[in-house]
Structure 1
Amino acid sequence: MPAHTNTTMPEQTSLIQLLDNFDREEILNCMQCGFCLPACPTYRQTGKESASPRGRIALMKAVADQQLDVDAEFEQNMYLCLGCRACETACPAGVPYGSLIETARDVVESNKKNKSDHSLIRDLVFEEIFPHPERVDLLSSMLWASQALGLQKLANVTGLINILPRPMREMQTAVDQIASPWQRMKRERVMAPTGVPQKLRVGLFKGCIMDVMFYESNQATARVLTKAGCEVVFVEDQACCGALHAHSGEKKGAKELAKRNIEAFENAGVDLIVNNAGGCGAALKEYHHWFHDDPEWHERALAFVAKSRDANELVAELPVLPFTEALAGVRITYQDSCHLAHGQGVRQQPRHLLQSIPGVDYVEMSGADTCCGSAGIYNITNFELSMEVLDVKMENVKRTKAHVVVTSNPGCLLQMKKGIQRAGLEEHMEALHIMDLLDRAL
């Protein structure tokens, strides 16, 4: 009798190995109770079960059990998710949905790469741009030049801007003036405490997009920290946090970026690592999960996570800020960053800080912790649904009659600026990062 021949194709074997990435125990922890449904913005907008956390987890289970293919429909359902993690707050079983959706996307992208079916543009973004701070800096200089030379304005006036896809065309109108290369070159690498004794030496995680589009917010954060008694260090050799990679199924790249940041801040000799972007902070505080199968890096990541703080957390712990400017008659409201509220559990600290500013009239917004639709690059990849979610949010914003809507994440800030435009409120309202407002009052 002829010997048995293994007829399993290499491609099939590779896929089976990929499916082992799914944590079946966590998938099975989902009781399919439906508590997540009203918390999920994509389910509320579409009414589709496959657009809910419960539905997506069911699809993940079917794929992990090889009952469904890792096909275009599965990919679409996984990427329709905003990743806001409101479902984690609502879930009575504590299912870590954020890590499950990251794994699902990692399986999707790894499967496409195995088939040589990946995008060259995607490779350019995730391998040639974001991992290289000097290239991100070069792009920011090019964007500044286009603004300074009036090219952006000219493109809008002449209609030349219409060569861009609609999402990019729409979102560029919400981008403020970029800091010049000379401003960035003049940045002090170490900023000493002002007016108070030094309490801590902190390393500021400046981010990639944050430091390009909201450079002044980073500077404001540093100034607020110095007035709270911190020596602030802009740590050299830090890189992108890896959140964009992790949320886009590029887990290998995310881990490489995490290693670079862990090493950079280990070498910096700082007491704490402080960031002012909810999305980045959630990633930084979850580095240890990314290295669960690597004992050496897991231990180093745990030490990194133990030092990581959101700026709101730290400033709220320190003595009361020495405000010098009363913002009398200014009505403000707060829009929670999803990854700050749901991912990090930081909710009361920013509200406490805002209410401590002399003269402000603080108004709590209905549904403040519901997603604004930004979700990293979701407003580019899923523009229409992103705007639907934003328009719902803006109805709640308008009811506050606030002069300033405050948030703690660059994506949310850009989205709220766009929302103010769409609602026709430019004459009555502005969107600010919380550290910009605190800096203004100091």
Structure 2
Amino acid sequence: MTKQENAAAELKSKVYDKVNSCIQCGYCLPACPTYKSMETESASPRGRINLVKMAAEGKIDITEDLKKPIDLCLGCRACEIACPVNVPYGSILEDAKEMIKKKEDESKKKPYMKDWLMNSFFTNSKMLQVSSNLLYLYQETGLQKISRKTKLPEKILGNIGKMEKTLPTMPSPKYRIKKGQMYKAKNPETKMTVALFLGCINDSLLYKVNYYTLELLRLAGCDVYIPKNQGCCGALHAHQGYMDTAKQLASDNLNAFEEHDVQYIVTNAGGCGAILKEYNHFLKDGTGSNSKSKVDEFTSKIKDISEVLYELDTLKFEKNINKVVTYQPSCHLKNVQKVDAIPEKLIKSISGITYVELPDKDSCCASGGVYNVINYDESMKILSGKFQGVNHIQPDLIVTSNPGCLLQMSHGVNEFSHDKQAKSIHLVELLAEACRIEI
């Protein structure tokens, strides 16, 4: 067999039953953001599924014909909600990306820079922390003001450089949560003991979100344990075809969260929570120390911060927020974790808020992990459409529940909003302000 035939056979062994479950009905088309923006069948879920099937049958080349349509998928998984026969599109997408990555590794186009980012940068907490500290100094020393005034990032990086404006203001590194510690509840009656998943982006770039999450949990009545050896969830890796690395990260996190018995493992990032809930999908063989029961127990404990706070119902909001507020859902929080109305209910429970529903709120903002960096123009096309709804309601605050969404909507304010004073914030930032939790 040739290399292409071997690759096709391997792909077929992984996906053939799954792709054949698609009946090509087209119910997914209106739900797909890239189909709506590109208006071509190869940019739709059923079109991509058919291409994967053809690649598995050896009728088309995996890299030449399949790579581009697959890379242009956001992975929002809205198609799974619309599908009447429950086609596992997310699993098909990951299998296809894994095979495309293998073919790239065999070619002269091996993505060395991308490999370094995925296998050495995002997996190295010390390197991420150093980068975070450098960003803090960049802001504190005034270098950021100079670079923005001279538009240096845009001159060097083009359109991608514009995203420098979305970088959040970094608080002192003293607010970064220390791992390996138990933080006791501030509520006199402890309701439960939970563990907090810090992630890699939130732990380095948005550690104030983690800080607010911790303080809200403590105020709500939780003892909060921070496992020492936790690391990146592996979502970025799985979505880019680096499944071996994703599996290793999953295994490491399973072991890290065994350190202490807790009721829930709390996340504050829709994408992280989604992959954590699906560890049993790509660790399903239960090999090594990761027995099926161990993986299932871990995934059953994953809860978004909004779910835990809503369940406890113990927060006391002490400050009125007299602003017009809307909510942009995280695709992975809604479509994978199935957390839909709860964040909006929490927002509406704060006194003073005028809540206005975002038109077409369930459509993806086109952040997609690193999608908005790799496919900037297509991402901006989708985001500009999203901001037609934002401009219609003119909110003061756009609340999000995922770091990628937060940064993407901030970029949207800079690029497409009629009101440049509007702010994109995480849900826990809003709740913390209402509870008078400050940094």
TM-score, normalised via structure 2 length: 0.94
Change (3 A) 1:393 1:196: farther
Does 1:142 find its partner at 2:98?
Answer: no
Q: What does residue range 12-411 of structure 1 map to in structure 2 within 5 Å?
A: 12=4, 14-16=6-8, 18-115=10-107, 117-184=109-176, 189-295=181-287, 297=290, 298-327=292-321, 329-411=322-404
Change (3 A) 1:193 1:118: same
Change (3 A) 1:294 1:116: farther
Using the TM superposition, give the Cα deviation of residue 402 of structure 1 relative to its aligned residue in structure 2, in angstroms: 1.8
Change (3 A) 1:65 1:433: same
SS at match of 1:359: coil
Once the two structures are overlaid, the 10-residue window that deviates more, 272-281 or 127-136, is 127-136
Using the TM superposition, give the Cα deviation of residue 16 of structure 1 relative to its aligned residue in structure 2, in angstroms: 4.3
Given that residues 414 and 420 in structure 2 are in contact (C-alpha distance below 8 angstroms), is that contact kept between their aligned partners in structure 1? no
Q: Distance in 1 between matches of 2:354 and 2:280?
A: 40
SS at match of 1:367: coil
SS at match of 1:165: helix
Change (3 A) 1:124 1:66: same
Given that residues 332 and 402 in structure 1 are in contact (C-alpha distance below 8 angstroms), is that contact kept between their aligned partners in structure 2? yes
Deviation string 1:49-93 (CA, Å, 9 cap, x unpaired) is: 000001000000001111111123311110000111111111111
- Which of 423, 426, 433 is equivalent to 2:416? 423
Deviation string 1:115-164 (CA, Å, 9 cap, x unpaired) is: 46411101211111111111111121222222222223322323432453
Letter in 1 for 2:371: Y
SS at match of 1:399: helix
Q: Distance in 2 between matches of 1:144 and 1:48?
A: 44
SS at match of 2:62: coil
Given that residues 21 and 107 in structure 1 are in contact (C-alpha distance below 8 angstroms), is that contact kept between their aligned partners in structure 2? no
Q: Distance in 1 between matches of 2:104 and 2:141?
A: 41
SS at match of 2:14: coil
Superposition CA RMSD, Å: 1.9
Change (3 A) 1:211 1:200: same
Letter in 2 for 1:160: L
Letter in 2 for 1:304: F
Q: Distance in 1 between matches of 2:180 and 2:93?
A: 39
SS at match of 1:266: coil
Letter in 2 for 1:224: L
Q: Distance in 2 between matches of 1:341 and 1:311?
A: 13
Letter in 1 for 2:301: K
Letter in 2 for 1:324: E
Once the two structures are overlaid, the 10-residue window that deviates more, 425-434 or 408-417, is 425-434
Residue ranges of structure 1 left out of the alignment (5+ in a row): 1-7
TM-score, normalised via structure 1 length: 0.93
Given that residues 196 and 228 in structure 1 are in contact (C-alpha distance below 8 angstroms), is that contact kept between their aligned partners in structure 2? no
Change (3 A) 1:237 1:395: same
Q: Distance in 1 between matches of 2:173 and 2:305?
A: 26
Q: Distance in 1 between matches of 2:66 and 2:283?
A: 26
Q: Distance in 1 between matches of 2:281 and 2:179?
A: 34
Q: Distance in 1 between matches of 2:287 and 2:113?
A: 34
Deviation string 1:208-240 (CA, Å, 9 cap, x unpaired) is: 111222111111111111121111122211110
SS at match of 1:176: coil
Once the two structures are overlaid, the 10-residue window that deviates more, 371-380 or 17-26, is 17-26
Q: Percent identity?
A: 38
Once the two structures are overlaid, the 10-residue window that deviates more, 84-93 or 65-74, is 65-74
Given that residues 143 and 178 in structure 1 are in contact (C-alpha distance below 8 angstroms), is that contact kept between their aligned partners in structure 2? yes
Deviation string 1:25-52 (CA, Å, 9 cap, x unpaired) is: 1111111001111111111111110000
Q: Distance in 2 between matches of 1:53 and 1:287?
A: 23
Q: Distance in 2 between matches of 1:405 and 1:188?
A: 34
Q: Distance in 2 between matches of 1:111 and 1:339?
A: 28
Once the two structures are overlaid, the 10-residue window that deviates more, 282-291 or 66-75, is 66-75
- Which of 412, 432, 437 is equivalent to 1:439? 432
Using the TM superposition, give the Cα deviation of residue 197 of structure 1 relative to its aligned residue in structure 2, in angstroms: 0.7
Q: Distance in 2 between matches of 1:416 and 1:190?
A: 34
SS at match of 2:194: strand
Using the TM superposition, give the Cα deviation of residue 98 of structure 1 relative to its aligned residue in structure 2, in angstroms: 1.0
Q: Distance in 2 between matches of 1:33 and 1:435?
A: 40
Using the TM superposition, give the Cα deviation of residue 17 of structure 1 relative to its aligned residue in structure 2, in angstroms: 5.0
SS at match of 1:254: helix
Q: Distance in 1 between matches of 2:191 and 2:8?
A: 53
Residue ranges of structure 2 left out of the alignment (5+ in a row): none
SS at match of 1:267: coil
Once the two structures are overlaid, the 10-residue window that deviates more, 385-394 or 179-188, is 179-188
Q: Distance in 1 between matches of 2:9 and 2:422?
A: 52
Change (3 A) 1:387 1:13: closer
